């Protein structure tokens, strides 16, 4: 039996299949991770950091191999895949560099005599359930801080990324982790539920859809396990004023087409004040229409295929439904296999399905608003709350709007600015936790109080 296969979305060809683990293999993986925790948690922090730093080095040494695998598995353009591996290496290295800070005691000013500190200690085996859209980056931001803390990892990668999963397991092993400290599992959803329920497993992190997050959170809740969720998004791109419309439009295009439009924090709803709307939309549509979906193995490709033909079919259904309900397609809108052209929808109203949905592909919706207040209202009129983008020449307005937006992240006058030291996460149905930055190390850790009289 297999759920794990490499199917090249650009060609539709199945390149390799991998057997799902047996229940016995799952049990062995849990046991190995637990035994490794007993050793790894007691390894000095400096030694843990040195191994994690070697993991970053191996990402860089195997960059080309890793990037080629990513292209085959999910269609990311090769230049973007290389950049993803580089970013994953930077993230891993960030946690190695900050190991002492992450694990340092936190003194508390107490009211009585004596002293008190919060000491951060690992909690045990963690399960990571990772998505296909960033096969290297997503794993790095979960695994690296937790390995530095002394936790051990069971990693269930997306079924369409088995070769990324195996390469990562080799990288972590070759870096010098004790056997079992990082274990790949080709698990079914039912087996993943068993892993979460196992008393040796102390937490689970999920990056994926709302449906997947809710399903895992339900299982974790029944078993009293900590769960971290990084889910979907329908991020607003708010244009209130600009002194360079071409640059603003290019930022919107870049933020929408990044990762073939398959990023949870991609800008998906362009919300533009009335005075700038016509100019912005005409340039935005022209720029989107200039981009052609093409062979992801070419270094000059900007937009490759979606991750699968099924993904393209889902997006096509959303666009067709929006059109039938009265939306206007300004450009694009018709797939060819797994390839989908840049698409722009207008005249979308709250009564339409697409108003509430996440468009996971190179499709955007444009909205005309009267002023700042309406822009914030439309931006917040969603069940999601991951990221957001605000373009304005007024610094005070930027602060007001940033305060008013219901999202975990606000970027002002820039896009694609994620960095290892910046926390990533959302609110509402976009998730419950933070990854990246120092906050990531607070998700799965025992913040133990030590009070001395």
Q: Could you tell me if residue 83 is inside a domain?
A: yes
Q: Could you tell me if residue 349 is inside a domain?
A: yes
Domain that holds residue 126: 4-231+431-452
pLDDT over 70 (residue 309): yes
- Give the model's confidence band at 3: pLDDT under 50 very low, under 70 low, under 90 confident, else very high: confident
Q: What is the chain's mean pLDDT, rounded?
A: 97
Same domain, 64 and 210: yes
Over residues 26-31, the mean pLDDT reads: 98
Q: How many domains in the chain?
A: 2
Q: What pLDDT score does 1 carry?
A: 52
Q: Looking at 141-145, 209-213, 354-358, which range is the least confident one?
A: 209-213
pLDDT over 90 (residue 2): no
Selection from 453, 387, 394 nearest residue 425 by Cα? 387
Helices (H), 223-352: 245-257, 274-290, 309-324
Secondary structure of residue 442 in the 3-state scheme: helix
- Which pLDDT tens digit goes with each residue over 102-122? 999 999 999 989 999 999 999
Q: What pLDDT score does 296 carry?
A: 97
Same domain, 181 and 278: no
- Which pLDDT tens digit goes with each residue over 310-338? 999 999 999 999 999 999 999 999 999 99
Q: Which long-range contacts (CB under 8 A, 24 or more apart) does 316-319 make?
A: 316/340, 318/353, 318/354, 318/357, 318/359, 318/363, 319/343, 319/345, 319/354, 319/363
What is the value of pTM for the model shown? 0.96
Same domain, 55 and 163: yes
Q: What pLDDT score does 229 carry?
A: 96
- Give the model's confidence band at 287: pLDDT under 50 very low, under 70 low, under 90 confident, else very high: very high
Residues involved in catalysis: 230, 264
Over residues 147-163, the mean pLDDT reads: 98
Same domain, 216 and 107: yes
Over residues 6-13, the mean pLDDT reads: 96
Same domain, 104 and 124: yes
pLDDT over 70 (residue 355): yes
Q: Could you tell me if residue 424 is inside a domain?
A: no
Q: Could you tell me if residue 425 is inside a domain?
A: no
Decide: 106 and 201 in contact? Cβ < 8 Å.
no
Same domain, 24 and 84: yes
Q: Could you tell me if residue 426 is inside a domain?
A: no
Over residues 134-146, the mean pLDDT reads: 98
Same domain, 259 and 283: yes
Same domain, 406 and 297: yes
Q: Could you tell me if residue 397 is inside a domain?
A: yes
């Amino acid at each position: 039996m297999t759920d794990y296969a490499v199917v090249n979305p650009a060609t539709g060809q199945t390149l390799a299949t991998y057997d799902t683990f047996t229940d016995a293999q799952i049990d062995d993986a849990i046991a190995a991770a637990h035994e490794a925790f007993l050793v790894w948690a007691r390894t000095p922090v400096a030694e843990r950091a040195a191994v994690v730093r070697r993991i970053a080095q191996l990402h860089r040494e195997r960059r080309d191999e890793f990037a080629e695998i990513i292209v085959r598995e999910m269609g990311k353009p090769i230049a973007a895949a290389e950049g993803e591996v580089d970013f994953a290496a930077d993230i891993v290295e960030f946690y190695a560099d900050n190991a002492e800070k992450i694990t340092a005691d936190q003194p508390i000013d107490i009211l009585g005599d004596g002293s008190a500190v919060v000491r951060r200690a690992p909690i045990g085996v963690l399960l990571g359930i990772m998505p296909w859209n960033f096969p290297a980056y997503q794993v790095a931001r979960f695994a690296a801080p937790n390995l530095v803390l002394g936790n051990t990892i069971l990693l269930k990668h997306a079924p369409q990324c088995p070769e990324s999963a195996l390469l990562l397991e080799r990288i972590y092993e070759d870096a010098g982790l004790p056997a079992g400290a990082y274990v790949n599992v080709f698990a079914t959803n039912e087996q993943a539920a068993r892993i979460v329920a196992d008393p040796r497993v102390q937490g689970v992190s999920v990056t994926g859809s709302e449906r997947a997050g809710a399903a895992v959170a339900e299982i974790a809740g029944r078993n009293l396990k900590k769960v971290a969720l990084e889910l979907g998004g329908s991020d607003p791109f708010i244009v209130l004023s600009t002194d360079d419309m071409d640059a603003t439009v290019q930022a919107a295009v870049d933020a929408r087409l990044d990762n073939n439009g398959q990023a949870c924090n991609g800008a998906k709803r362009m919300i533009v004040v009335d005075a700038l709307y016509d100019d912005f939309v005409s340039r935005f549509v022209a720029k989107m229409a200039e981009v052609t979906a093409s062979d992801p193995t070419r270094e000059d490709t900007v937009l490759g295929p979606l991750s699968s033909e099924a993904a393209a079919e889902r997006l096509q259904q959303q666009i067709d439904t929006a059109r039938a309900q009265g939306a206007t397609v300004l450009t694009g809108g018709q797939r060819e296999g797994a390839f989908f052209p840049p698409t722009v929808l207008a005249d979308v109203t709250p009564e339409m399905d697409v108003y509430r949905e996440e468009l996971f592909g190179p499709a955007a919706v444009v909205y005309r608003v009267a002023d700042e207040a309406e822009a914030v209202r439309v931006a917040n009129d969603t069940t999601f709350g991951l990221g957001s983008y605000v373009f304005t020449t007024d610094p005070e307005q930027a602060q007001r709007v940033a305060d008013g937006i219901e999202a975990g992240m606000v970027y002002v006058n820039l896009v694609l600015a994620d960095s290892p030291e910046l926390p990533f996460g959302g609110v509402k149905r976009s998730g419950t936790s933070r990854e990246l930055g120092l906050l990531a190390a607070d998700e799965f850790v025992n913040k133990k109080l030590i009070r001395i009289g």
